[in-house]
Amino acid sequence: MLVLGLETSCDETGLGLYHSDRGLLGHTLHSQVGLHAPHGGVVPELASRDHLRRTVPLLRELLDQTGTGLSQLDGIAYTAGPGLIGALLVGSSIGRSLAFALGIPAVGVHHMEAHLLSPLLDPASRPHFPFLALLVSGGHTLLVQVDGLGQYTILGESVDDAAGEAFDKTAKLLGLPYPGGPALAALAQDGRSDRFTLPRPMTAKPGLDFSFSGLKTQVRLLIEAHPQPQHRADIARAFEDAVVDTLLIKCRRALAQTGLGALVVAGGVSANRHLRTALDSAAASDGFAVHYPPPELCTDNGAMVAFAGCLRLQAGERAPSDCGARARWPL
């Protein structure tokens, strides 16, 4: 089965082609970073218009690059939510229209499910169900027990800001340009761990929920107390250490609680090098396996949507008769 995936939930237009036997054939991506940067964040209206402008040229490029004809497609998957509603409607309208014209099925995919399954894209290091998933993106921080496709038990989630959102907001406080997460991580590389220490929120009591919004306030206080530019890298480092350590503590706790032996980490923040180093060394010392998507598939992309959609279509799922786009949609 050959499936085209369309991702348009936020500020990346991503298309991917996944074949159930041959794996990922290719993917194309356009980031809207340059479009939103002057505004300091994503402007929904601009995002929708840009998805509309980019999707068909990116589809042409993907078909050329993989030597695929539209008539070879067996199904189309699009991100149906959660995300910016106008942006989601672009992917769902194009995906559903194309599927109608080609006489093939369409399916709406949950964006976080697509992230969650993305480490399974690599057949060489594919984890087996069941496993624990840590999903860390700009909109979500979730610890999920994954027993199979669609069999998800939420063990913990953020009660306020998502991990990526905390990175982005803290980066803004530090005067870093949008998108803040990668910029903060780069600045933290030059910082020292032993200068400042920030709390590890919600780790003192039992439980698997997260809270990252308080860290922002702590960072603001640190910046006010140490306004000189030479302290910024150390403050960034203290923030990154606190987030990474908190995520690590909760992953260890969830693995112990569930008895699961494999951890899958996905979503934009899974690109963070410091997080990967910490999880890799915990995996080596505690004896669990850890899986990540390839670095270029950590942030939003169409490959993960094509893959999740292929699994859903193979399971017999089809898009509902309405547009199926949902700004809010629990996993």
Contacts with ligand KG4, residue ranges (CB under 6 A): 10, 137-139, 164-165, 167-168, 179-182, 185, 267-269, 271-272, 299-300
Q: Is 21 annotated as a binding residue?
A: no
- Least separation in angstroms between residue 268's CB and ligand KG4 is 2
Longest dimension (CA), the chain: 63
Using CB under 5 A, which of the segments 74-82, 229-237, 247-255, 295-303 binds Zn ion? 295-303
Please report, for the chain, how many H helices and E strands are present, in that order: 10, 10
Using CB under 5 A, which of the segments 171-179, 184-192, 258-266, 296-304 binds Zn ion? 296-304
300 binding Zn ion? (CB under 5 A): yes
CA-CA distance, 173 to 223, in Å (whole number)?
Answer: 8
Q: Is 301 annotated as a binding residue?
A: no
- Of the candidates 9, 300, 282, 283, the residue with the CA atom closest to the CA atom of residue 164: 300
CA-CA distance, 133 to 231, in Å (whole number)?
Answer: 35
For the record, the structure tokens of 30 come out as: 């356009």
Using CB under 5 A, which of the segments 71-79, 81-89, 269-277, 298-306 binds Zn ion? 298-306
Q: What is the dihedral of CA 244, 292, 190, 217, to 10 degrees?
A: -30
Which of the choices Zn ion, ligand KG4, none does residue 59 contact, using the CB cut-off of 5 to 8 A by kind?
none
CA-CA distance, 92 to 8, in Å (whole number)?
Answer: 9
Q: Is 128 annotated as a binding residue?
A: no
- Least separation in angstroms between residue 265's CB and ligand KG4 is 12
Concatenating the DSSP letter of every residue in 125-147 gives: GPPPSSEEEEEE-SS-EEEEEEE
Q: Is 138 annotated as a binding residue?
A: yes
CB nearer ligand KG4, residue 7 or residue 234: 7
Do the strands 131-136 and 141-148 form a parallel or antiparallel pair, or are they unpaired? antiparallel
Binding footprint of Zn ion, residue count (CB under 5 A)? 2
CB nearer ligand KG4, residue 2 or residue 10: 10
Using CB under 5 A, which of the segments 42-50, 96-104, 297-305, 308-316 binds Zn ion? 297-305
Instruction: Choose which of 8, 92, 137, 246 interacts with Zn ion (CB under 5 A).
Output: 137
CA-CA distance, 5 to 308, in Å (whole number)?
Answer: 9
CB nearer ligand KG4, residue 98 or residue 269: 269
Site string for Zn ion, 239-278 (x = CB under 5 A): ----------------------------------------
CB nearer ligand KG4, residue 99 or residue 272: 272
CA-CA distance, 199 to 93, in Å (whole number)?
Answer: 45
Which of the choices Zn ion, ligand KG4, none does residue 269 contact, using the CB cut-off of 5 to 8 A by kind?
ligand KG4
64-91 burial by CB neighbour count: b if 16+ within 10 A, else e? eebebeeeebbbbbbbbbbbbbbbbbbb
CB nearer Zn ion, residue 82 or residue 191: 82
- Least separation in angstroms between residue 17's CB and Zn ion is 19
Element (H, E) at 234: helix 232-258
CB nearer ligand KG4, residue 72 or residue 213: 213
Question: Is residue 321 within 8 Å of residue 288, measured between CB atoms?
Answer: no
CB nearer ligand KG4, residue 63 or residue 78: 78
Question: Is residue 81 within 8 Å of residue 88, measured between CB atoms?
Answer: yes
- Least separation in angstroms between residue 22's CB and ligand KG4 is 26
Asked if the bond preceding 179 is cis, omega within 30° of 0, the reply is yes
Alpha carbon 19 to chain centroid distance? 22
Annotated binding site: which residue ranges?
111, 115, 135-139, 168, 181, 272, 300
Which spans of this chain sit near Zn ion (rule: CB under 5 A)? 137, 300
Annotated binding site for substrate: which residue ranges?
135-139, 168, 181, 272
